[in-house]
Amino acid sequence: MRQVHALGLDLQDGLHGRGAPAAARRLRRLLAVDGVILADLDGPVAGHGRRVGSSYVDGLLAQVFEYGGGTRGRLPDGTAVYAVPLMVAEELSGALVAVGDPVEADVEAAAALVAEHLDHAALRRARARIAAADLRSLRAQISPHFVHNALAVIAALVRTDPDRARHLLSDFADYLRYGFSDKGDYATVADELEATQTYLELQRARFHDRLDITVRMAPEVLPVAVPFLVVQPIVENAIRHGLERKEGRGHISVSGYGEGPLCVIEIEDDGVGMHPDLARSLLAGTGPESRGVGLANVDQRLRAVYGPEYGLVIETALGEGTKVTVRVPRFTRGVVAP
Amino acid sequence: MISVLAIGLVLVTSLVIGVYGVRAARSASDFLVASRRVTPHWNAMAIAGEYLSAASMLGLAGLVLKNGVGAMWYAVGFTAGYVAVVALVAGPMRRSGAYTVPDFAEYRLGAPRLRKLCGLVVLVIMLLYLVPQFKGAGVVLSLVSGTPYWVGVVLAGVVVSGSIAAGGMRSATYVQAFHYVVKLAFIAVPAVYLVAVAGADTRAEALHPEWGTRFPETTPVEFTVGTRFHLEAPVTVTDASGAPVELAAGEHTVAAGTEYVFPAGAGVPHPAGLPELGGGQWRTPLLGTGGFALFETWSTLLAITLGCMGLPHVIMRFHTSATAHVARRVGVGVIALLGLFYLFPTVYGLLGRVLTPQLVLLRGTDTVAVVLPAEAAPGTAGTLLTALVAAGAFGAFLSTSSGLLLALAGGLSHDLFQGSVPRLRLAVAVGACVAVLMALPVEGIDINVLVVWAFTVAASTFCPLLVLGIWWRRLTLPGAAAGLVVGAVTATGAVGWSILAPTPPGWPAVLLAQPAAWTIPLAFTTMAVASRFTRPPDWAEHAVLRLHSP
């Protein structure tokens, strides 16, 4: 069992990953044969044990790929060879070749196992691609509502308060540049705050300054790297669903501090709040269409990067305001701000 | 009473800064100011504030009094450690983005198991370092409030874990910077004042100790622990009942609870194993008293200087700098701030020999900085000065131990167990409890001996890991693990043996008590040799490049 599990780890980056030679070695031991060759559609990618002339292997592989099933062969010195195609998700994507009197059923079982691991590797890559696409969609999501509102506000101010309009316009430009930048998947807390600030400036103008903002940041968390666009969507959610519908002045506070090895960011508003069940469904991504996917997306990305225990925490009740807490490790391997 | 008030004031102020010092900005225009990064000056002060521990405030002065001017090497080592930090690790650590040493290990070598091993070593170092802090706090609290030692230690544990639970460490940078100011002011002002009021004779005697040490006035000495001491000349003392007791020259053993009143001008007896106060050995600027003083000095210096970079809570603070360049500048600032601070403990040690020599007989030299002001300046001034020093020492304890406790709790909850927030709180409580329990039986051991133990372990484990990890591409996972294990076991074991169990005399005793000179090279060699036989990870080149590219 341990060998099978280790084989899965070896193949976690696919046939072209750095674990392929180790996988070949492990397969040779499992099958108890002289040599093992792993091949993709272009030819051998990894092998272990007894070497076989490349022209012979190429011929055998061509035969396997054409026939699509287990193929027997014999080396010039009479050693038996058995080659089995690797069918990943019902698609031919390589072959497993065993040299030296292999038990054919074993080789077929091993090939099925390898194919399954390769399938998992492909799924893992797909998941990463989906996460990246999610982020892109979140970036794209900034635009319609917000761009329209921001421009409308600026247009309204152009005559009455041209200075402020100019200021806001440059904020808007900064904000767009940040939102559309493709420098990487991570940014420092300081960068995130700056983007949030420009966003809040624009929203304040729209609210005719009936929006109060408090920011409290312990300086030691400012250089911490976090996933790109984590703070702003939460702030946006607080304004759109908490404060916009509230009568009178609204208050939003963003605070951050260190807690041992963790970095904590809290976004709190005194808006209309929501039912805890709604908050739960929002995080699950099953909330009403009108609420957008901002929170669910942030939550998913945090979990994907840091692990399931580091998702968003929402504390809320109807009429009681909302507090969203982001709690992430200060350092995680691979999370580096450019 | 005033001392207790002063300590309370320091505590409350740091709590307030901790909770509200997270910069607040109410209007949007202030917003940018708030998000500006912490300046290097603040950061340097914060690092110095966290680093200057009870060992520096109390232990150093005590050691100068007890062992002689050679103890000043500790100050040199504590400061020189940052030269090594700045030169070797500060910049690259910042570039790696790693927050703790286990983080760095994971960044560089990428294995969860190594992370756990590092977490374990963090635990050992932090506990060894916490114990003397609690000891210092216990000593100070019991001195100023008159309670037994164990009450002070337990109280210190409650206070420090309580202040962390209350969120007092949220803005660690400002709290720690505040503590640097507190410590510097509270040790420097009394020191300068004491030097001024001590008078020309005392100053001259403090600086020129060639004629041995005599009691400055009639001094009652209550032996709280049994002591063996040596008298140079016969003296007549009075015991508790007032009857005169004739003490001949030579060795004497007194039981715990004995009380003798020494007349003014009598020579101060020196306990067995310690140099005569102000005598030739005391004046030799080397650590250690045996025949291996030079070796002991080198070994201790090596431990302290290289141990500094291995201290988990020191490395953490460089994470706050915006860039690697700033991190190095911060390090240089720290060197200046430490250099300034370390002028003062020496003053207490030198004056203490003249004014409070009886502390040597009581094995209470760690208290010299607190006891001295009352002796030198009787009356209100002395009380006030005692309060200042006590509050400063308590501040030293508070800032260092909360930093240590947080690092320890982080290691427990983050590196050893995949932890959540309640776990972090729990880890703080557990860490404090263990440290308090370990601090209870060590009343008789010098603070600095314990501190050097922690430094020795750090220098024999994380120092090689960081230095080789940063500067040598060929470091491998098995190599690092082997080096860590060998370093941790030899360094912890050797010093532990020499403190807790009798050691064979001569060279073995010295090698066990001051093992840094052989454990550090041993750890380096183990790492290097084991790495030679294994393969470095594929990304080693890339990872090291990132550490050094601007």
State pLDDT tens for residues A88-141. Answer: 877 888 888 888 877 778 888 888 888 888 888 888 888 878 777 766 666 555
**Of B22, B31, B322, which is closest to A257 when you measure between CB atoms?**
B22
**Mean pLDDT of the region B434-448:** 85
Q: Which tops the pLDDT comparison, B424 or B537?
A: B537
Inter-chain residue contact B172 with A197, CB threshold 8 Å: no
Q: Are residues B85 and B164 in the same domain?
A: yes
Phi, psi of B246 (to 5 degrees): -90, 120
Contacts with A212 from chain B: Cβ below 8 Å? 26
Number of CB atoms found within 10 A of residue A44's CB:
18
Q: State the residue range of the domain holding B198.
A: 2-15+40-204+279-548
B418 reaches A (C-beta below 8 A): yes
**Chains A & B: contacts with CB separation below 8 Å:** 116
Q: Which tops the pLDDT comparison, B159 or A11?
A: B159
**Of B28, B169, B421, which is closest to A200 when you measure between CB atoms?**
B28
**Mean pLDDT of the region B8-24:** 70
B23 reaches A (C-beta below 8 A): yes
Q: Where are the alpha helices (DSSP H) in B240-323?
A: 280-283, 293-310, 312-317
Decide if pLDDT at A18 tops 80.
no
B319 reaches A (C-beta below 8 A): yes
- Give the model's confidence band at B420: pLDDT under 50 very low, under 70 low, under 90 confident, else very high: low
Bridge-partner residues for A91, per DSSP? A88
B32 reaches A (C-beta below 8 A): yes
- Average pLDDT along chain A: 81
Please check whether residue B352 lies inside any domain of the structure: yes
Last residue of a domain, one of B244, B267, B290: B267
pLDDT at A258: 82
Q: What spatial distance separates the first Cα and last Cα of chain A, rounded to whole Å?
A: 42
Q: Are residues B87 and B231 in the same domain?
A: no
Give the chain A residue whose CA is nearest to the CA of B23: A216
Q: Which tops the pLDDT comparison, B175 or B461?
A: B461
Most confident of A146-150, B72-76, B519-523: B519-523
Please check whether residue B308 lies inside any domain of the structure: yes
Q: Are residues B258 and B338 in the same domain?
A: no
Q: Are residues B234 and B335 in the same domain?
A: no
**Mean pLDDT of the region B180-191:** 88
Pair of tokens at residue A300: 């998913």
Inter-chain residue contact A204 with B34, CB threshold 8 Å: no
Q: Are residues B253 and B296 in the same domain?
A: no
Inter-chain residue contact A223 with B322, CB threshold 8 Å: yes
Decide if pLDDT at A142 tops 60.
no
Count, residues in chain B: 550
Inter-chain residue contact B28 with A201, CB threshold 8 Å: yes
Domain CATH number, residue B168: 1.20.1730.10
Inter-chain residue contact A259 with B35, CB threshold 8 Å: no
Q: How far apart (Å, rounded) are the C-alpha atoms in residues A284 and A299?
A: 9
- For A248, counting Cβ atoms within 10 Å of its Cβ (0-12 exposed, 13-18 middle, 19+ buried), the class is exposed
Residue B231 host element (H or E): strand B227-231
Please check whether residue B457 lies inside any domain of the structure: yes
Please check whether residue B21 lies inside any domain of the structure: no
B538 reaches A (C-beta below 8 A): yes
Instruction: Please enumerate in sequence order all residues whose Cβ is within 8 A of that of A126, keeping only pairs 6 or more positions apart, or say none.
Output: none
Q: Are residues B200 and B218 in the same domain?
A: no
Last residue of a domain, one of B267, B291, B309: B267
Q: Are residues B284 and B359 in the same domain?
A: yes
Q: Are residues B284 and B184 in the same domain?
A: yes
**Of A218, A225, A329, which is closest to B173 when you measure between CB atoms?**
A218
Q: Are residues B451 and B317 in the same domain?
A: yes
pLDDT at B29: 41
Of the residues A168, A207, A210, A220, the best mutation for testing chain B's interface (the one with the most B CB atoms within 10 Å of its CB) is A220
Please check whether residue B151 lies inside any domain of the structure: yes
Inter-chain residue contact A260 with B414, CB threshold 8 Å: yes
- Give the model's confidence band at A285: pLDDT under 50 very low, under 70 low, under 90 confident, else very high: confident
B24 reaches A (C-beta below 8 A): yes
Task: State what percent of residues in chain B have pLDDT above 90.
Answer: 17
Chain A: closest CA distance from residue B316 (Å): 9
Q: Decide if A289 contacts A301 (C-beta within 8 A).
A: no
Q: How far apart (Å, rounded) are the C-alpha atoms in residues B60 and B393?
A: 12
| DSSP code for B29 | G
Q: Decide if B313 contacts B128 (C-beta within 8 A).
A: no
Q: Are residues B180 and B324 in the same domain?
A: yes
pLDDT at A116: 87
Chain A: closest CA distance from residue B107 (Å): 6
Q: What is the ipTM of this complex?
A: 0.77
Last residue of a domain, one of B267, B287, B311: B267
Decide if pLDDT at B151 tops 60.
yes
Chain A: closest CA distance from residue B504 (Å): 43
Please check whether residue B61 lies inside any domain of the structure: yes
Q: How far apart (Å, rounded) are the C-alpha atoms in residues B495 and B258?
A: 32
Chain A: closest CA distance from residue B500 (Å): 33
- For A2, counting Cβ atoms within 10 Å of its Cβ (0-12 exposed, 13-18 middle, 19+ buried), the class is exposed
Number of domains in chain B: 2
Pair of tokens at residue B265: 């001008």
Contacts with B21 from chain A: Cβ below 8 Å? 218
- Give the model's confidence band at B27: pLDDT under 50 very low, under 70 low, under 90 confident, else very high: very low
**Mean pLDDT of the region B161-173:** 72
Inter-chain residue contact A260 with B173, CB threshold 8 Å: no
The predicted-structure confidence for A157-193, as pLDDT tens digits, reads as follows: 888 888 888 888 888 888 888 777 776 778 888 888 8
Report the number of secondary-structure helices (H) and strands (E) in chain B. Answer: 24, 8
Q: Are residues B458 and B369 in the same domain?
A: yes
Of the candidates A312, A166, A155, A304, which has an alpha carbon nearest to the alpha carbon of residue A231?
A312
Q: Are residues B263 and B290 in the same domain?
A: no
Please check whether residue B274 lies inside any domain of the structure: no
pLDDT at B173: 77
**Mean pLDDT of the region B447-454:** 86
Please check whether residue B30 lies inside any domain of the structure: no
pLDDT at A137: 67
